[in-house]
Structure 1
Amino acid sequence: MTLQIHNLAKHYGSTPVFANVSLDVVPGEFVAIVGESGVGKSTLLNCMAGLDHWDQGTVQLEGVDVGALNEDQRALLRREKVGFVFQAFHVLPHLDVMQNVALPLMLLGQDYADRVQAMLEAVGLGALGARLPQQLSGGQLQRVAIARALVHNPRLLLADEPTGNLDPSTAALVMQALVQQCRAHGTSLVLVTHSAAATEKADRVLHLDTDGLSQP
């Protein structure tokens, strides 16, 4: 998916979060965004997905002006074309692994059994579909989140510190699964991270501060 951000700015009241953010992401590209804590990296991701509002500038996904859409239209765009991986996993504890991963396909009204099983196999969880989240490790939970984010073949994947809660060896395995699946499906990936190991796999690394994005 082509993502185009032009001159984006965000404030909370009179406090600027970021300004002058411009970014073009081409289909299949992996862009990592780094920066100090509190500079607005997660907020920027939320703006890319239309989950948050901004004060100036434009966000376009495949030529669609996200800012011109109403909330229902934004939700439909995300449901069909965007995946999101959070640091905190956000799996539903009362659903098993297969049901958690199937949620995006269920919302789209699509058959899911074969697709979900293939996705679980791809992230190394093929035998764990019937387990509940509380029976999994942190690394396994994050791979469930990755599988769920990718199961509907989104054109853009947004990942917010997906390895931040994991030990280094587990984080490396999770990043490998994430990047492999995005590469395999031609999915554009924008990753927010503090991890130097995660940025090593990126096509581009950009630094966010209050003045915008720049090469670190």
Structure 2
Amino acid sequence: MDQLTLSEIGARLGADPQVLRKHARQPGFPEPTGRRGNARLYDLDAVQQWEDARKSPAGTSQGDEDRLVTLQEAAEELGISYGSIRTYLGRHESFPKPVQRISNRPYFRLGEVRAWNARRARQLPTPSDTVVTEIDGLLTRAGVAAELGIEPKSVTRYVVGGIPQLRPFPEPARTIGRTRLWDRKAIREWGSHRS
């Protein structure tokens, strides 16, 4: 049994020691087997097995689905930004609840987060190379932005009333799912009074 520091194990496995130290705080990571001075020693084979299981493709084993991850690691697993997943956690009641807290940091079951993301992805519109600006003669948010010569995020600010000195933004003429659509004439009229 090779007892090594995480830095030594990182060198052997070609892994970043900082990442290994982060992993060592996760539930299920092999416990230290001894000490050398102030450094903790770990069993090389046990750490390698844990890292291999962590890198296994999604859904290949029940153990992988039961693995506990931080919000940052969940974001990395899903290929989305940390900011996005924090937003999902705060705004979506259906987002999985933490199953454990370690040092006041929440840990989530990876399988539950993956399942939630799969449900969310099925509800999203199919991505395309072109941005849809018009549906049935009505303007999407991107269409409103193009009509007014502004960024789409500015349209969102106008819609939620984030700029009080402006006239109230026109109400959508129609809503399809969560997509709001506006009448071009109403948007042009509003835009003509925008300073």
If the length of structure 2 is used for normalisation, what is the TM-score?
A: 0.27
If the length of structure 1 is used for normalisation, what is the TM-score?
A: 0.25
Larger of the two Rg values belongs to structure: 2
**Greater length-normalized contact order (CA 8 Å, ≥ 6 residues apart):** 1
Q: Judging by fraction of residues, say which structure has more strand.
A: 1
